[in-house]
Amino acid sequence: MTDLSVAKKAGKVAFDVDAIRRDFPILDQRINGKPLVYLDNGASAQKPIAVLDAMDRYYREMHSNVHRGAHTLGDRATSAFEGAREKVRSFLNANSTREIIWTRGTTEAINVVANGLAGRLKPGDEILVSHMEHHANIVPWQMVAERTGAKVLPVQVTPEGELDLESFTSLLGDRTRVLALTHVSNVLGTVNPVAPLIEQAKARGVITLIDGAQAVPHFQPDVQALGCDFYVFSSHKLFGPTGIGVLYGKAQLLEEMPPYQGGGEMIERVSFERTTWNVLPYKFEAGTPPIAEAVGLGAAIDYLDSLDRKGMEAAEAALLTRANQLVESVPGMEVIGTASNKMPVMSFKIAGLHPSDIGTLLDQQGIEIRTGHHCAMPLMDFYGVPGTARASFAFYNTLEEVEQLFTALQKIQRLFA
């Protein structure tokens, strides 16, 4: 039993990064002979023992297909599987588990919505995204637009990496049918003011989707307070397993949308004359679902719920503050994205160095970051760079690791100066 699972019996525990790190066994290793400093959390976060144990226990004690077996293992698996759905519902503050659809991840969730809304679109209709979107929130809309004659229009960003609200106001119009925005930019860390933008869109009858993949690891969204029609995220960024994600959708819209895939589980009755669909949420869950992964995601949410969330958020803010303080210690270093409200993500470039070289040299010192275009090529074009180096922090990172990053960057800069 982990330190935090013991402490949880007495309620939420005070934020103690040393205790928390003991719950993430992958962090206790050496890379190229150096202690691992994992700063690629924006790509995929690490998993606590609670998640690993929950998935192991599922496979050892209750594995069976769900909803179908008239036996004890089937009942256990179904209970754990649907229990995880309820945990997600509570995490998002959705009205009902009917509004929680399992997907393979954020990308599939957006594709489900885009394809489901295609029948509402016609030539000349407009879909608003932003210039800072991940490709997953651009390409599905482009594909649907090509089929329907609609247009995808980007809301511009400022040089600081914030949404240009004048651009948004000018683009939101009578032809706007869908607004799809990221809650937090995976490149810039910018926290977008989605609530007032959703409110403006709703006043015009526009359907809204929020990509929360980069938001949920850092704070807990409230979909009812936001007022969005759809909210999507991936488990593996929320300290859960890969291969599963969540689509929250308002029940009325989900009822009106056609299924994304056909097959078992999503049907009510099949004949060669006609097939009818299952009730929500199963209407969108064809085939055997990711049962163990759902259990793992539920365990990740339980784990986060055991933490002092305000302490966690303060610790992450301190990491970003210290990183910003150290930027000037590396000659030629420039941060891309300096929004006033951002999560602990730092994309940067260093004069004379290619991002991939920075990443390779940091890895030699045991420091893992991300390099490249981060699946955000339009944003790279806006800043006139082929890519950036990106350090993305999580609550299990330490101020000492921030110091190690910048000490390593100073060493690299001197080497190439």
Supply the residues annotated as catalytic.
375
Only one residue has tokens 């009822």, namely 255
Within 10 Å of residue 156's Cβ, how many Cβ atoms?
Answer: 16
At 354, the amino acid letter reads: H
At 50, the amino acid letter reads: A
Residues 6+ apart with CB under 8 A from 267: 275, 276, 277, 278
SS3 99: helix
Task: Report the alpha-carbon angle 146-152-155, nearest 5.
Answer: 170
CA distance 58 to 46: 20
Radius of gyration of the chain (CA): 22
Mark residue 61 as left, alpha or beta (left: phi above 0; alpha: psi -120 to 50; beta: remaining): alpha
Contact 84, 295 (CB under 8 A): yes
End-to-end CA distance of the chain: 50
Only one residue has tokens 């209970």, namely 79
SS3 280: coil
3-state secondary structure 322-342: HHHHHHHHCCCEEEECCCCCE
CA distance 47 to 243: 14
SS3 63: coil
Count of all residues that appear for the chain in the document: 417
Residues 6+ apart with CB under 8 A from 213: 106, 134, 182, 186, 232, 233, 234, 237
